[in-house]
Amino acid sequence: MAAITAAMVKELRDKTGAGMMDCKTALSAVDGDIEAAIDWLRTKGLAKAAKKAGRVAAEGLVAVALSGTTGVVAELNSETDFVARNTDFQALASNIAKVALEKGDDVEALKAATYPTGSTVDEAVANAIATIGENMTLRRVAQLKVSAGLIGSYVHGAVADGLGKIGVIVALESTGKQDELAALGRQLAMHVAATNPVALDLASIDPEILAREKAILAEKNAGKPAHVLEKITESGLKSYAKEYCLLEQAYIHDGSKSVGQVLKEIEGKVGAPVALTGFARFALGEGIEKEEQDFAAEVAAAGGTTG
């Protein structure tokens, strides 16, 4: 029997989209013949994933999972919204988020992690593609942890527990009362879902973004004295922070206060200092270019006409 090398397994996987163990099994079954292994996988229904890999997957689900002081939000994409209602797809998204609680938010490392069935996460996705018949992509994952306190969460447009169109997690560091923190965490997560902040505060914003904002302010006020421009820039950045920085935003549940003020005020109820140390917000399909479909052309093609 021919020796099955890692390079052979990789080549077969690249050609078929099948899982690594399936590729190794196929190669072993046909004595290392790549083309025969492709046929072997096709007969088993495991090479279907490759045919679908080029299709745009911008639908699907955002999954949220919590365990103790750790929280995860993950996005698993599919081609159509219909698949998001498939219970097998829902279980896949939910299980991947649970695996990420332990493995973290490195997507490639997560794909190689062990899925509850014993395969890898990547193989579980490939098998779902073959079974359900649509391209799927594990797009991104975010994980938050606190040493004391909890991770608050909110799922918008939920189709099942922890699964929906928008998923948010927020990290609250505190030794205070858990019930008060839990209520606050959900309210803050709802706020993040509604306002989509860029960062916690100005100090957390990408320096390139801040530099661009300063350049815009400078261009708008070109010709003014340096000390005047400095004050204008400072004021402009404060306005920017109130719109895009979570701690400075007007709280959606009480517009008379900022999120930062709400955190300070609730410390009395919680019985200890409360720090909002991080957040993650995933909206399904954001940033993915969807293919424009000409419905009339599709109907004409299905009917054998070209218009």
**What is the per-residue pLDDT across 262-276, written as a single tens digit (0 to 9) for each?**
999 999 999 999 999
Phi, psi (degrees; rounded to nearest 5) at 304: 85, 15
Structural domain count of the chain = 3
- Once rounded to an integer, what is the mean pLDDT over residues 4-16? 82
The closest of 7, 55, 52, 8 to 33, measured between CA atoms, is 8
Do 95 and 121 belong together in one domain? yes
- For residue 12, give both structure tokens: 């077969």
Q: Please say which residue of 244, 266, 290 terminates a domain.
A: 244
| 154 within some domain | no
65 plus 141 within the same structural domain: yes
240 compared with 50, residue with greater pLDDT: 240
DSSP state of 288: P
Contact 56, 89 (CB under 8 A): no
238 lies in some domain: yes
CATH of the domain at 138: 3.30.479.20
Q: Is 272 contained in some domain?
A: no
Structure confidence by residue, pLDDT tens digits, 156-165: 999 999 999 9
What phi and psi values does residue 40 have, to the nearest 5 degrees? -60, -45
Q: Quick one: how far is CA 203 from the chain centroid?
A: 24
Q: Parallel, antiparallel, or unpaired for β 163-164 and 250-251? A: unpaired
Q: Are the C-beta atoms of 152 and 169 separated by less than 8 Å? A: yes
94 and 29, same structural domain?
Answer: no
Closest CA to 47 of 23, 12, 16: 16
Examine the domain organization and report whether 37 and 87 are in the same domain: no
The answer on 90 and 40 residing in a single domain is no
**Is the residue at 1 inside a domain?**
no
Domain extent, residue 84, equals 56-145
Q: Does residue 75 share a domain with residue 23?
A: no
Examine the domain organization and report whether 48 and 14 are in the same domain: yes
pTM for the full predicted model: 0.75
171: in domain: no
Q: Are both 72 and 116 inside the same structural domain?
A: yes
Quick one: pLDDT band at residue 214, thresholds 50, 70, 90?
confident
SS3 280: strand
Task: Quote the mean pLDDT of the chain.
Answer: 87
Residues 47 and 65 in one domain: no
Radius of gyration of the chain (CA): 25
Tens of pLDDT, residue by residue over 109-119, are 999 999 999 99
**63 and 130: one domain?**
yes
Taking the CA atoms of 58, 63, 64 and 67 in sequence, report the sign of the dihedral they define.
Answer: negative
CB-CB contact of 66 with 100 (8 Å): no
The CA-to-CA distance between both ends of the chain, in Å, stands at 57
pLDDT confidence tier of residue 292, bands split at 50, 70 and 90: low
Q: How confident is the model at residue 297 (pLDDT cuts 50, 70, 90)?
A: low
Same domain for 46 and 65, yes or no, is: no
Condensed to tens digits (0 to 9), the pLDDT of residues 57-115 reads: 568 999 999 999 999 999 999 988 888 899 999 999 999 999 999 999 999 999 999 99
Which residues face 152 on adjacent strands?
170
44 and 83 inside one domain: no
Establish if 137 belongs to a structural domain.
yes
71 within some domain: yes
CA 167 to the chain's CA centroid: 8
